[in-house]
Every structure is written in C-alpha cells, then in structure tokens.
Structure 1
C-alpha cells in the first residue's frame, strides 16, 4: 500500500484485493504487454537494426530488460522507462520547489531532482513589477523576496552544460506560495498536461500539480496586474491582519487528504479525480481525519474500479 500502512480486517482485505484485481483486468492490453520486469525478453525485429537503450542488454541474441518498467520505442531506439524513478525535468515544466539556500544573485531550490535547481534573480519579476537591470540593492534585498523554506512555483527554463537546472518566474502566476499545504507524491503520478494551475471555485482553493511530484493546495490568490502592485503595497498591513477562513482550511485539508489517498493507491493524480474523491468523502459523511483510514481507503479503490468499468462499458 505504498506510503500508507493500514490495519485492514479480513473483510476489508478481501474487498481491496477484489477491487485491485478488477482494476488490473480493466487495464488496456497494450499497456500490460509493454510492462516488463528484470530478465524479460523484449520482442524486437532484428532486421530493423534496432538500438538498445537504457534498461536493456543483449543476451544470447535477444534483447533483455534489466529494469522493471514500460518498454518505449522511438524510431529504432528501444529502452525501458522505469515507473518509480526520480523526476526527469523537461523545458517548460511547471514545478513547485522549496528554497534551501540563498546564494549570490540566485536561490537554490529542492525540486525532487538529482540536483538542486537554480532560480536567478534576473529570471523573475521584482516586487515593483518594473522591468529593469538588477542592482546591488536588489541583491541585498533577495531575502525579502524568498527566504529559506519558502515554497515557490516556477517554470523550467533550461539546462546548463554542467547539468544544473535553471528556473524562471517571469509571470504573475509564479512566485511564493503561502497559506496552504505542500504534498510530496511520486513524480510519475503527475502527468504533463496543458494546464497545471487549477482554481477550484467551489472550494475557493488553488491546486497546483507540479510535474516534479510536489503538489500545492492553498487558499486562492488573485493574480494582480502590474499596475495594481503599488496599490497592493499600501494594503500589506491590512492583509497581514487577515487570516484564512476556517471553512477554507477544511477544504484545503480535505483536498490534500484526497491527493494523499490517491497517491497511496497509485492512481494518476488529476484535478477531476481529486475533486471526486473529496466529494465522495463528504457524501459518505467521512471526517477529514478519517479519510486516511482503512474503510475509506477501500471505498476509494472500489469507486475507482466501478468508474473505470462504467467508462469501458460506454466505449463499447
């Protein structure tokens, strides 16, 4: 059960095994055929002069997998993509990270990658919103923008020759994240999509699904225009006195527990599935602190199996 170790009774264990078995039978045949374990033979056409990539080896004239994962084919290249691997960034990815160090003209962020990411002072908008050359005063005021342990949303800008990852935050939708929860899930459960920022209007909550497996659930923040920044500065003292309403906090905790539960079950995280799980907990009168319990865990697996079965029936 991955990250959750729940004390299931005999009935719950039987129900869970039945739901997981049904989910396995509903999986597409092509996906099942592409999955391999260590020492499995990978069917290839040797006349095509294939190229053996990562996770493969040649044994007695056959291509054999050396990793557990899914077989991928790109033209003549055949390789195995591991499922539970670390995050592999691509240019344009939306990521959520945590500041771990403030260096000269840059911040270093932990983003679940093999190396720390770098956010340059010149790669983000200044608090005044004016596009200008960064000065020594701006460098001295870096700690007033981000400090250690701050949660930041940014975009992957590119790679340097030494393999380091550079980020950028030149839009108003990027920047410091406050008043919420940061969740860590396996990166392969978050698929790359066109939209990773979600405003859940019914809950007044922002949901950011980071491609690196960091998920942010927090109070909704209205994106201000640059012209309104000076007016916002005058309201800083008033905003400091405000706090997140209790009802919004409950919504944040419920959605966060829904994401934790789906991650423990190994389901791909989408905004629709997270909302559906949260609404199912409300309709079942499950308290927020009981969402990670054994009974709702089994109910979620059964509900997902039923949903996928209904979708498959409609397609037929």
Structure 2
C-alpha cells in the first residue's frame, strides 16, 4: 500500500485498498499507452534512427524500459521519465532550503539534493532595495540577512564550476518566518507555472518547493522594511523610537494570531496526509482536505488518524471521477 504507515483496522484496510485500486484504474486508463515497467518493450521505428535516452536499453534488437515510468519522446529521442526519483534541479525551479553555513560572499544551503547549493551575496536583493555593487561592509553584515538554520526561498540559477547556484532577485524570495517547513518526496511536487499560493480564506501562504520542501506560514505582504526605516530616519520630524518600544514592535510583528496558527497546522497536516498516501500535492487538493476536516469538525491532531486518511483517499476517488466525467 505504497509504504503507508497508518494503523488501520480490517475494515479500513479494505476501504483503503478499494480506493487505491480505483485510483490506479483511473490513472491507467489515462496513461495506458505511455506507462511502462521494467523490461517492457517500447514501440519505436528503427528506420528513423531512434536515440535511446535515460531509462531505456537494448534487448534482442528491441528498445526496453529499465525503470518504471512514462515514455517521453522528443524528436528522435526516446526516454522514460521515472515516476519516483530523487530531486534533479533545473534552471528556474522554485526551491526552499535551510542555511547551514555562512561563507565568504555566499550562503551554503541544504536543499534535499545530493549536494548543497550556494546563494551568492551578489545574486540577491540587498535589504536597502538599491541596485549597487556589494562592498566589504555588506559581506560583514551577511549574518544580518541570513544566518544558520534560517529557511530561505530561492530560484535555481544553474550549475557552475563550484556547484549549484541559486538566486533571490525578487521580493517574493528570501527568508521565511512564522510557519512550518515540511519535507515530502520530491516526485510528489510537480513543476507548475505557479508555486506561490495565498490561501486567502485562511490567511496562509503556501510555497510548494520543487525539491520536496514545502512551506506553510502566515501570509506576508511583500514590502521592504529597510527602505521604510531609511525614510523614517531621513525625516527629522519623526522621533526615533527607544529600545523598549522597538522590542514591543518586533514582538507584535512576530506574533501570529491563534486562528491563523490553527489554519497553518491544518494545512501542514493536509500535506502530511497526502505524503503518507503517496498522492501528488497540489493547492486544490490541500484546500479540499482542509475543508473536509472543518466540515467533519475534526481537531487538528485527528487529521493524522487512520480514519481521516481513508476518507481523503475516498474523496480523491470522487474528485478524479467527477473531473473525468466533465471532460
């Protein structure tokens, strides 16, 4: 059952097995021609000079699959895109990482990849919002921007001679606060046009990292605080706040309302349920799971129970069946 770690009763096992079989039949009808398993033959026209790519091999003059996945064709190239694999960075990927070292002119981040990634000081917007050359003072103040264990959102810039490099040249990237970082298998997060989501009805931000790191946190408006501070300091009529008032302002800024924290936990538990069941994680499914838990009047911790997991699987069968009928 896809490595599910739920403690199920006999009735729940039967219900879940039935739901998974229905989901498998629905997906097999859609990809019956494209899906292959190991040693399956891939029909090709040898007269066209086929190029055998990743996940393919030659056996007795036939092209066979060496991994389980979906057959993809690009001109003469034939390869198999594996359904379950480790994260492979591509330029433009939205990823989430954790800072593990502050080095010279760069931060080193752990991004759920076989090697760490680097975010250069020159590849991100400075807190003052001014486009300028980085100075030695900026390098000395790097820990004021990011320090060890900080969670950072960035974009894959590409591979260079010293490793994988990231960039954060937009206000939507940067340090993430007031939320939860979740780790799921990377193949459950598909590359989409939009990876930043604002769940307006819950006051929650959701970032689906292509590397399997998912962030659920309080909604934050994109604004530059350093610019506002400079404007206030340049205005002689604005009195400078003392240390106590500044501490109070920071506490109010970092405070998250109880209702918002509950929705953050519900969204995080929805992601955990989907990861346990092995379902592809999308914002629409997460919203549906949150609404399902609210309609059933479930406590937050009950969302991780076995009964709710079975209900989510059965609801996913209904959703896919209805979407197929609409087509």
TM-score bucket (shorter structure)? over 0.9
Per the alignment, residue 194 of structure 1 pairs with: 193
In structure 1, the residue matched to 2:221 is 222
TM-score (norm 2): 0.91
User: Which segments of 5 or more consecutive residues in structure 1 lack a partner in the other structure?
Assistant: none
More divergent stretch after superposition (22-31 vs 250-259): 22-31
User: 1:86-105 alignment to 2 at 5 Å?
Assistant: 86-105=86-105
Identify if the C-alpha distance between structure 1 residues 238 and 125 changes in structure 2 by more than 3 Å, giving closer, same or farther: farther
Asked if the contact 1:129/1:229 (under 8 Å) is kept, the reply is: no
| Whole-angstrom distance in 2 between the partners of 1:199 and 1:236 | 29
Q: 1:149 to 1:122 in 2, by over 3 A?
A: same
**1:254–1:288: 8 Å Cα contact kept in structure 2?**
yes
Structure 1 residues 201 and 66: alpha-carbon distance in aligned structure 2, compared to 1, 3 A threshold: same
Q: Does 1:241 align with 2:251?
A: yes
Deviations 1:278-302 (A, max 9, x none): 1101101221111111100000000
TM-score in terms of structure 1 length: 0.94
- How far residue 170 of structure 1 moved from its aligned partner, in angstroms, is 1.3
1:154-233 mapped onto 2 (5 Å cutoff): 154-161=154-161, 164-225=163-224, 227-228=227-228, 230=230
- Structure exhibiting the larger radius of gyration computed from Cα positions: 2
Describe the shift of the 1:5–1:29 C-alpha distance in structure 2 as closer, same or farther (beyond 3 A). Answer: same
CA contact (8 A) 2:128 2:227 kept: no
Q: Deviations over 1:120-167 (max 9, x none)?
A: 0011112222222111111111111111111000111122145x2111
Could you list the runs of 5+ residues in structure 2 that have no partner in the other structure? 234-240
Contact 2:5 2:276 (8 Å CA) reproduced: no
Shift of 1:229: 5.2
User: For residues 239 and 74 of structure 1, what CA distance do their matches in structure 2 show?
Assistant: 56
- Give the number of aligned pairs: 314
Q: CA RMSD in A?
A: 1.9
Shift of 1:240: 2.0
Give the Cα–Cα distance (whole angstroms) in 2 for the partners of residues 2 and 147 of structure 1.
38
